Amino acid sequence: MDLVNFGLRLSRLRDAKGVSARDMSISIGKSPNYINKIERGKTRPSMDVFYAICKYLGISQQDFFEEENNTPKRYSEYVADLMLLDDTTQTHVTGIVKELGRNR
């Protein structure tokens, strides 16, 4: 993922969380314009800061790079909830989800 797409992904995930770039920057211990610089493709965070960003967003590092998933936190919550169900119920839920997907 190049700098521009990295910044766009961060911007989308931050917007989905409903926080400003300034508030996020300060919350992860950086200068007020730090996240804005990343989102504009001017800089890339260190690994430590990337981990802090993901933690702040409530997502895994893998989730960050799955660009087709616009709601990674919600997706992770669905999977965790699904794993609590027995096999038969998981099969039924999967059938319902597939049917809903066909009806879009």
* pTM exceeds 0.85 for this model: no
Greatest Cα pair distance in the chain = 51
* pLDDT at site 6: 95
26 and 54 in one domain? yes
77 and 47 in one domain? no
Residue type, 79: V
77 and 57 in one domain? no
Domain that holds residue 92: 71-104
pLDDT in tens, 7-26: 999 999 999 999 999 999 99
85 and 63 in one domain? no
80 and 44 in one domain? no
* pLDDT at site 72: 83
Number of domains in the chain: 2
Alpha carbon distance 68, 59 (integer Å):
14
The number of beta carbons lying within 10 Å of the beta carbon of residue 22 is 14
pLDDT in tens, 18-77: 999 999 999 999 999 999 999 999 999 999 999 999 999 999 999 999 888 888 888 888
CA neighbours closer than 13 Å in the CB half-sphere of residue 10: 30
19 and 50 in one domain? yes
